[in-house]
Amino acid sequence: MMIDLDDAGVELQPAGDRLRYRPADRVSPDLLNRMRHCKPALLAALEPVELDADGWPVDSVDPGEPCPVCGSLLKWWDSWGTEHCQNCERETLTRAHETAEWAASVRAGRGRHP
């Protein structure tokens, strides 16, 4: 919804329990109906966010340390709890996904051992 409003060039602002938007001529009847339907979610998305001393939202999760090789914060953990970098270990992640899909198909009675 927010992307559609942005694509239409519509600026949205909360005003108490109401939404203000401009320019009005860029809001089609369909978009206006969708805004009315999504009003509580739009108001919630537009609420000010409290930031901590580092500028992160107070309720955000600490991403931890970046990958020492590439600096990415994209991580995944294997079943033993070992942390892996999604960028540096893309092949391992792909194998893990394939294994999980195979295991799910075996549990469902549709798969065979490769």
Which residues lie below 8 Å from residue 20, measured CB to CB, with a gap of 6+? 12, 13, 14
Q: How is residue 105 written in tokens?
A: 């198909």
pLDDT at 114 over 70: no
pTM as predicted: 0.46
71: left (phi > 0), else alpha (psi -120 to 50), else beta? left
Q: Distance (Å, rounded) from C-alpha 106 to C-alpha 77?
A: 23
Domain ranges for the chain, please list them: 2-45, 63-114
Q: Distance (Å, rounded) from C-alpha 69 to C-alpha 19?
A: 46
Percent of the chain with pLDDT over 70: 95
How does pLDDT run across 12-65, given as a tens digit for each residue? 999 989 999 999 999 999 999 999 999 999 998 898 888 888 777 777 777 788
